Structure 1
Amino acid sequence: MDHAGEQMALVRAEAAHGKARAASAPPAALIPAQRRPVARVVVDVEPVHLDRLWDYTVPQRLAEQAQPGVRVRVRFAGQLVDGYLWERAEQTEFGGRLAPLHSVVSPEPVLTPEIGRLVRTVADAYAGTVSDVLRLAIPPRHARAEKAAPRPAAVEPPAPYDPQPWKYYANGPELLTALAAGHSPRAVWTALAGSLAPDWARALAAAVHATLNSGRSAVVVVPDGRDVGRMDVVLTELLGPGRHVALTADLGAGERYSRWLAAKRGAVRCVVGTRAAMFVPLPDLGLVALWDDGDSSLADRTAPYPHVREVLTIRAHQTGAAALIGGYAVTAEAAQLVARRWARPVAAPRAVVREHAPMVRTADPDREAARDAGAAIARIPALAWGVARDGLQRGPVLVQVPRTGYLPALACVRCRQPAHCAHCRGPLALAGSGDSARCRWCNRIAGHWRCDRCGASRFRARATGAARSAEELGRAFPGVPVRLSRGGAILTEVGPQPALVVATPGAEPPAAGGYAAALLLDGDLLLGVPTLRAAEQALRRWLAAAALVRPASDGGVVAVAAEPTAAPVQALVRWDPAAFARRELADRADLGYPPAARIAELTAPYAALDEFMTAFAPPQGAEILGPTPAPGGGESGEQLHRVLIRCPRAAGRPLVEALKATQGVRSARKAPAHVRIRIDPADLA
């Protein structure tokens, strides 16, 4: 469809919209409001070509309730649909007769002007629609919670903030002073690691405390519910009860909406939460803070797939708020914020870093195999065994294993061909030592499995999970307690007594007094993941585990089983994640990868993708890569394909605009297959 055809589609939609009548209503109900009788509404409809404001008449009976930001019901193309009243106006540019608002769902103005601007900007940045972003930004209404949610009340100002957690950092005390004075510094913070280092949650809470002392509000986003709980405890201790709310996915609908409203109404001035908290409205926003921006959970999995870091930086720019992005590791995106001088680095001096960090030793499996033939079949290098044995003399030892499960991947014992299910071709795995091999897709038992290539009937392990690792370590260290921490069964803390704690990345529990040692197993498996961020993620996971270990001065040792010359391993040895991030950013600039360039990923069945690309007009400098087969299947089971479109960062906005225009043409045509668009996806392979 050409531009004229798209305009005709819009005209038809407007005509259907304008013909909606409230014929059965009494005439008095159709009398328009005397002031600003036009309501511009965001209608909750999915087609991209309808992503615009639609004008309605405000009946006099709704004139008081129909204020900007409230939820409304309107007739659109013959159906009664939900929407948000964006603004009121004196007149409309539509030439026909406007339909009236059907009703105001609630007089609560849930869409504030600040969040409205943010939602529009995020939709434009990710080739999405305002309706899509509003579904992420505003929780569903809960009438009882709306009536019971607290209103603002006079409270005593919080006590003076404690600068102690920031005294170790260059420019740290100055950062708090600026926040308390009402200024808006922007910082990329490399947190000190080691069991004796200041707690990251307490440092973040001190920054929030300083911001609240200036009379402003703050929002803190962390990766998961455990981190929210940790921040919740510290904020309650520092600020006192009732001054903040915590938002997590496991809250009930009523409680979540009640807390969200408490923040929107100004009853509290601090919100800490997981991904969705990035959109929580707060009056007079003074600080947006993010912990561990490299965590994959911070990239939303629903359209238009925004990342928390990008949303918060947009929000800080639009509101003039301070921004604090912190973690043990530094992402390439955070390094770019520093390189562009959008933010300043905040880190401890090298002498202080060495004082708090544990000693890091590298174990090269290939080198050990060359010295000892038996080491070729040993998954845990001799160095790691020695570190574990010595560490258990002094306290608990952490063992990080990249994979969960027992034997999560199997192969033929003879030819090493990956073992697949005879029914659905899914991968086979072993859940426990006494279990039979099962398919990870259809859960069928592989009772009479034979290799397609060589006919062998026995398996070998392609990868070892946390449960099998715990079993092996229990046999190697008889009498030593072995505890397992993994998704669904994460330990909260372990004591100071000698024990082996086997954990998957992200599930490592802190130990009282710190771990005596840590083993980082299967490092080459992490480095070999076929994604753009494999090296960055490996270092991030290693640093998170090593940060729980005692400093070298107290005997803390970390053994990493990976290629010693790999850049992430060397960054861990030197404990210099910022330098690694700068190198990673430079490498991506040379290769044309985000964040130095912009990449759009398009995924759809081949026919739909071909149709999209035929209509698509790429901006100057754009490079089209593909199509190639993509993993997974479409809604009807057909094979998906993928196209990557790469362009210089300066051409990013024209690229997104062209993608959205093409998507709008397809939706106006009612094309049967949807093309998924992701901008700079975090899991780019």
Structure 2
Amino acid sequence: MTGSAPVARVLIDSPLPQLDRLFDYEIPEEFAADCAAGVRVRVPLRSAGRVADGYVIEIAERGDYSGALSQIDSVVSPVSILAPEVWALARKLADRAAGNASDIIRIAVPKRQVRVEKAWLALPEAVSTMTTDDVRPVAPMPPEFAPGRIAALINDRERVALDAVPRLVSVVDAAAPGAEPRWVGHWAVTLAAAAAHTLAQGLSAIIAVPDYRDQDQLMAALSGVVAVNRVVRMDARQSNPERYRSILACRGDEPLVIIGNRSAVYAPARNLGLIAMWDDGDPLHSEPLSPYVHARDAALVRQEQQKCALIFASHARSTEVQRLVELGWLGEVGSERAVLPKVIPTAAQESQDRLAAGARIPSAAWREARAGLERGPVLVQVARPGYAPQLSCEDCRASARCLACEGPLSLKRAGATPACSWCGALATSWRCSHCEGTRLRLVGQGSVRTAEDLGRAFPGVRVIVADGERPVMTVPHAPALVIATRGAEPIADGGYAAVLLLDGERMLARESLRVAEDCVRWWANAVALAAPGAPSVLVGVGGPLATAMATWRLSGFMSRELADRRRLRFPPAVRVATVTGSPDAVERALASIADVDGTDILGPVATDDGLRAIVRFDYAAGAATASALKAEVIRIVTSRRKRIVPGSGPVAPLPKLKLRFDDSEPFID
């Protein structure tokens, strides 16, 4: 070994928290040409014969350490796949959530695909080929569209909450003359115009949407303003080779528009000009893998690091975005001309009419549906899929539960065998655990049963069911009843002639801290699919929530919701972390943050996994809280059990500790 050999600082790809730091390795002479920041390498660990995968984070000169360093075992690939901006983002987010940077990088960087990589390396060196054809003029938009305002916020690197116009827009693919126009949400056209302006400045744009339905709308809107070779797709529907090809495409210097689901926020983009996120309140933006970082938080941190423009667009803001608006950290952008949908709550009629109060579809909704079917399709939003979402005992009326796992029984279609909603087991020989009864009673109406009832009420009218098992993307402009679960509503050409929002009371009965916020978002997104001037009937909901929908003052409702959370010290007014594990580990972890200002602890309480406590803390105390709790995790996993003497009796289990920061439902088991 030479004392002057350069040193590679390597992040080991491991879930172990004690390895979540950079390790120094000497670079052998044979790897000097290929070993660069961002490449994959294999390095030895202290244990004999163990070799681990890792990423070179930086190349440095040897420091003050004069001892012998281990050498890099091999360079897996010469491609610098981990961009510096992605590493900086992963490190910041991991520290914020008391997690490992390698866990976030595993989400951001897909597994290596050798064939794809070799084909990419064989391509000639990319040069900038930006032409005027890559960015086309934005087509004339409705008068409420504000292209000048959108361009200004991108030029000035503003951070804004954008209230999307609740309307559909017809778009045409400029690259396919003669093609049929597509109807998409006005929000998609707005974000496409913002991306096109960013691209015209020689900068890249990242747009994250919840699912493939939103992505298809965005792709259709982009086709009219951006050349297809400038758009990179990155989502869960792609195969591993396709996703790896997308990551390699983003590693160049050419400006691109990168669209996808929550993982698109981590796409490499050196010259980033815009991050846009549609409907950040959708739970699909929440990452289910450790350290559970929400895509919205990743976008906020990345904007601070790369100083780009940031847009949170939605029909109904999340309380997290509303908090940032009230703090002045986000600006507000609305349409230049007020576009108010026609929302009709039926609560007043139900309070005066006893029969209407007991009806699932009151007379006002029937009238609007009948009138709408004379003009075009009518959307009926329901709470649950299937035939009967719940079953109960016919004799004692107790909820019917699965004999295997105690999950609720449901019926997917008429005449089918009841099955468990959790484990899927068929209830072929069900017997009530309360009264020994064997007969089941239907409770509630799912999408299929609603379709049957409405089909009998409107004979001769086409009935379409759209839910998770029956995905429908679009419906033509013709009389039809479209029964859809929330989030699965197809787009009607020209918009729906009427929208019925059923089961509002049932939706609000869900046990959740965010139930009102979610319902407003579900209903607002459905109302936005109506044709201009078409009525939307909200059934079973009254009070401030119905008033907010009728007046379309949704931001005011979210402001009141946030004020209630502040009084109760509920998120997002404060941050929360759940601490779960063995009693000794939980108690020591809670003791480590006892002196941190701005924190308070709920619990601990006993659970099946040991003890569980909820830590509430101010945003200013986030760094200290995360650092202290992660230190406890590292202390536990690095503790060594004393040598066990044979015959010494039962051995106590090792302590366990699990952390989760910013859980969306910390108070619901």
TM-score normalized with structure 1 length: 0.87
Match for residue 203 of structure 2 among 200, 207, 216: 216
Match for residue 261 of structure 2 among 270, 274, 290: 274
1:362 corresponding residue in structure 2: 346
1:522 and 2:503 are equivalent in the alignment: yes
Q: Tell me how far 1:435 sits from its aligned partner.
A: 1.3
1:436 and 2:436 are equivalent in the alignment: no
2:69 corresponding residue in structure 1: 98
Matches within 5 A, 1:528-547: 528-547=509-528
48-57 or 267-276: bigger deviation: 267-276
**3-state DSSP class of the match of 2:251?**
helix
Q: Return closer, same or farther for 1:302/1:665 CA change in 2, 3 Å cut-off.
A: same
2:94 corresponding residue in structure 1: 123
Measured in 1, the distance between the counterparts of 2:9 and 2:131 equals 40
Q: Return closer, same or farther for 1:338/1:48 CA change in 2, 3 Å cut-off.
A: same
Give the AA of the match of 2:559.
R
Q: Return closer, same or farther for 1:588/1:163 CA change in 2, 3 Å cut-off.
A: farther
Q: Tell me how far 1:165 sits from its aligned partner.
A: 4.3
Q: Return closer, same or farther for 1:152/1:422 CA change in 2, 3 Å cut-off.
A: same
2:138 corresponding residue in structure 1: 162
Measured in 1, the distance between the counterparts of 2:167 and 2:192 equals 19
Measured in 2, the distance between the counterparts of 1:159 and 1:443 equals 50
CA contact (8 A) 1:482 1:501 kept: yes
Q: Return closer, same or farther for 1:423/1:285 CA change in 2, 3 Å cut-off.
A: closer
Matches within 5 A, 1:252-651: 252-267=239-254, 269-348=256-335, 352-354=338-340, 357-363=341-347, 367=351, 371-372=354-355, 376=358, 378-552=359-533, 556-565=534-543, 567-604=544-581, 609=586, 612-613=589-590, 617=594, 619-628=596-605, 638=608, 642-651=612-621
Give the alignment's Cα RMSD to 1 decimal: 2.4
Measured in 1, the distance between the counterparts of 2:546 and 2:207 equals 31
Per-residue Cα deviation, 1:553-593 (whole angstroms, up to 9, x for no partner) = xxx1111112311x332211111222122222222111111
Q: Return closer, same or farther for 1:603/1:474 CA change in 2, 3 Å cut-off.
A: farther
Q: Tell me how far 1:417 sits from its aligned partner.
A: 1.8
Q: Return closer, same or farther for 1:610/1:462 CA change in 2, 3 Å cut-off.
A: farther
1:634 corresponding residue in structure 2: none
1:234 corresponding residue in structure 2: 221
Q: Tell me how far 1:380 sits from its aligned partner.
A: 2.5
Q: Return closer, same or farther for 1:400/1:618 CA change in 2, 3 Å cut-off.
A: farther
TM-score normalized with structure 2 length: 0.89
**3-state DSSP class of the match of 2:274?**
strand
Per-residue Cα deviation, 1:515-535 (whole angstroms, up to 9, x for no partner) = 011111111122122111110
Measured in 2, the distance between the counterparts of 1:478 and 1:538 equals 31
Matches within 5 A, 1:189-200: 189-195=162-168, 199-200=186-187
Give the AA of the match of 2:160.
A
CA contact (8 A) 1:161 1:206 kept: no
Per-residue Cα deviation, 1:474-531 (whole angstroms, up to 9, x for no partner) = 1221111110111142111111111100111111111111101111111112212211
Q: Return closer, same or farther for 1:166/1:558 CA change in 2, 3 Å cut-off.
A: closer
Q: Tell me how far 1:621 sits from its aligned partner.
A: 3.3
CA contact (8 A) 1:397 1:515 kept: yes
CA contact (8 A) 1:202 1:231 kept: yes
CA contact (8 A) 1:365 1:561 kept: no
Match for residue 629 of structure 2 among 636, 640, 659: 659
CA contact (8 A) 1:70 1:110 kept: yes
Give the AA of the match of 2:662.
D
Measured in 2, the distance between the counterparts of 1:109 and 1:492 equals 39
Q: Tell me how far 1:162 sits from its aligned partner.
A: 2.3
Per-residue Cα deviation, 1:196-238 (whole angstroms, up to 9, x for no partner) = 6972111101001111111111111111122222222322331
Measured in 2, the distance between the counterparts of 1:217 and 1:441 equals 43
**3-state DSSP class of the match of 2:329?**
coil
Measured in 2, the distance between the counterparts of 1:524 and 1:641 equals 35
1:11 corresponding residue in structure 2: none
**Structure 1: 5+ residue stretches without partners:** 1-30, 631-637
Measured in 2, the distance between the counterparts of 1:629 and 1:379 equals 41
Per-residue Cα deviation, 1:434-456 (whole angstroms, up to 9, x for no partner) = 01222233433333433333444
1:146 corresponding residue in structure 2: 117
Match for residue 201 of structure 1 among 171, 174, 188: 188
Q: Tell me how far 1:76 sits from its aligned partner.
A: 1.2
Measured in 1, the distance between the counterparts of 2:34 and 2:187 equals 45
Identity fraction in percent: 37
Q: Return closer, same or farther for 1:256/1:444 CA change in 2, 3 Å cut-off.
A: closer
Q: Tell me how far 1:48 sits from its aligned partner.
A: 1.2
Measured in 2, the distance between the counterparts of 1:627 and 1:522 equals 37
Measured in 2, the distance between the counterparts of 1:119 and 1:473 equals 51
Measured in 2, the distance between the counterparts of 1:162 and 1:101 equals 52
**Structure 2: 5+ residue stretches without partners:** 171-184, 641-652
